[in-house]
Structure 1
Amino acid sequence: MVLINALFLVLYRALSADYTRLIGHSLKEIILLLNFCYFFALYFVPVRVHLSVVFLDNIVKRSFMLITFQMIMFTTCLIFMRIGHGSARFLIILYGTLLVAFSLWRVVMRVIVKIYRRKGYSVKNVIIVGAGKNGLELYKVLKNDMAYGFNVYGFFDDNEALRGELPNYLGRLKETEAFIETHPVDEIYCTIPGANSEKISGLLSFAEKHMIRFYILPDFYRDIKKSMVMEIMEYVPLLSIRNEPLQSASNRAVKRAFDILFSSLVMLLLYPMLYLVIGLLIKLSSPGPILFKQKRTGLYGKEFDCYKFRTMRVNKEADEKQATRDDPRTTPIGAFLRHTNLDEIPQFVNVLKGDMSVVGPRPHMLKHTEQYSKLIDKYMVRHLVKPGITGWAQITGYRGETKTLEQMEGRVKRDVWYIENWSFFLDLKIIYVTVINMFQGEKNAY
């Protein structure tokens, strides 16, 4: 609050030309409006720098979201209240200054919190009930960094053979309550199997009576290593085994709006010229159409016609055989188009039609979908979102021909990771890297 208000006042006084335009209302009213917008934005993008595990890049991303949201609201309010007409320069400078200063402030706050915890302050004393595979994995995470703020006393488990194996074995489950009575325990992490429901419920009841927070690590985590999402259907809790940001209507709206805007710019500014030049070169290189149309697998397995600039001579294997290095079917201009990704430009038509997105898993030929869906467990998961012109797999080394099953598994793994970790900023990053690669060229682009 101090930072935002101080920066506003400094800029308000420093930019005298804009000061006269904003004077339509009193300074107090404008500051009140700025602070109201901050609190409203904070409701949607709350502070998280105090949590146990927060990474600095996420702090910067959330700071960007918060300040952007605040400034959009603030500017909109000024427009509707007819305050500060012609003060765009002031608002742009204010936005940039707040963005940099606020991000730095949040990062500094997080660093201070980490230093504070490493010195032994603000530490939570915890015990782990259950020293199986899940318990040991949890222990490694809690002890990974002292900045997380955990002091792990040790394990309780009925397998007394662990006494000689674990340096911090504390005793059997029945000894847990006695230990808590004599030690300041703040949190209990229970990793014992669900079959021991009576022991779990008894320990939970004891923890609540002693105002100790109780966490349960699901037994099935041993087999399903996923980031899960809790949902409630009336009063019944449900665990979704996959976090999908694009399940949110607002996220889909943002992605679709960007797709339409970006594709429209490409189709209006670049496509006509590229079509004329590249089309002429394709016609001169070999007989056949300028565009190549092929059935691909899209959203939820639906087939669609995917467009590309034709890079090969017309052949009967086009719908069955992948392009390979030094493929004899590829024309000279086709090799250049593939190397620079320019052959994909007509797919912006697919984006405008709604069959594809600018960023997403690359659509595969129908034959490959049928083949790999039988060989790779999570292959069809990649079709839970629209396919893209470029994607996370393509910029991380999995572009082009997949010679082995392991290569396709690597691509699918990255496609699923993208689905589970989507963000607008991730899309921008993928587009940026793709454009850079277009100019540098890619070794797998053939």
Structure 2
Amino acid sequence: MSEFATRSGVLHVEDISLTDIAARFGTPCYVYSRAGIVRQWQAFEAHMPAPHKVCYAVKANSNLAVLQVLAELGAGFDVVSGGEIARVLRAGGRAQDIVFSGVGKSDAEIRYALAQDIGQFNVESDAELDRISEIATEMDCVARISFRVNPDVDAKTHPYIATGLEANKFGIPMKDAMATYLRAAQLPAVEIVGADCHIGSQLTETQPFLDALDRMLVLVDALENEGITLKHLDMGGGLGVTYANETPPPIGEYLQAMHARLADYPHLALYLEPGRAIVANAGVLLTRVEYLKANRSKHFVMVDAGMNDLLRPSLYQAHHDIVNVVESSAPEVSGDIVGPVCETGDFLGQNRTLRVAAGDLLAVKSAGAYGFAMSSNYNSRPRPPEVMVNGDHAYLIRARETLEDVWRGESLIPNSNSQ
């Protein structure tokens, strides 16, 4: 997180102190560094010249300004819903650079995607293939498709974010892939352009990616023997980041290893779908300490951000470093950093030690991915604002919700006493 540095005892993002951000926008508050996003994007792009393509996984952070920054850099986009397609287009992304993944695409989403003439669908089942063919035929257009194949590779990650095993809901089993491709070649209104796989998220080793790539290349060869020549191979995303003590491979090392495996396939473009690796360490969540509390067995630092603002610690038992924004001489506290949500699982960090007092401003680091994107209004809590910093300028890129926003769209029924 090189864009977040301490100067004169105060944590800054680029050229602005986080204390100034909190004073201007309040807490809780998500803060992103534009430079951090650009730096990580360029680390991928440097090793992926055309025709290779990097498609940012929109689900990691779908704020329009984040998508705008990436669109201006020429990114492709991996989406998993019609809403994400609309966001990409609204932010300036090109339809031809959109890859539509996801296991449960609806009729309406498929029609919308075809009407926008997106780059391709990553098809995840025989039933979805039939539906896309039928709708494209009805609309008198051609759907470019790639099949997501499940290579049955253990990603060695948290079970909730492992996606490449036969036990997972994603993709077509490798043993069924050939038959599905051959059937697709006979269907109307579809054009086969590639093959796709994604084995999981937050991977910290290169070998699982290479194991999956080797299995996919066996399929590529088998398809070629059947007269089906693919234009690209999409190996998904999943490269991990450092939250605590993880040591993921450098981006260049990971990409060079994959390109080496593809040396004998000069006609095959490599597609990748990183999300977390681009935005996670480009963001923090600011939160204010409300109270310090202790019982006979434990200390608690009670803050104004909760699991509705940042779900990852409760959902995945995920670790985020948490620091005092201003260097403090307060007494050291060892305990859990917890929020105001009425759940025992409402915590941002457990068993932490830091110098802290009521009123202090804390930064939850590495919160740029799957932070705001997974937030909710649980306990009728308005969601926090999002701020983008560019040098010495801070831009409000999503306003803090009001209470009226929380119940927008709801309606009261007629007073039953008047019936």
Q: TM (normalized to structure 2)?
A: 0.29
- Indicate the structure (1 or 2) with the bigger Cα radius of gyration: 1
Relative contact order (alpha carbons < 8 A, sep ≥ 6): 1 or 2 greater?
2
Higher helix content, 1 or 2: 1
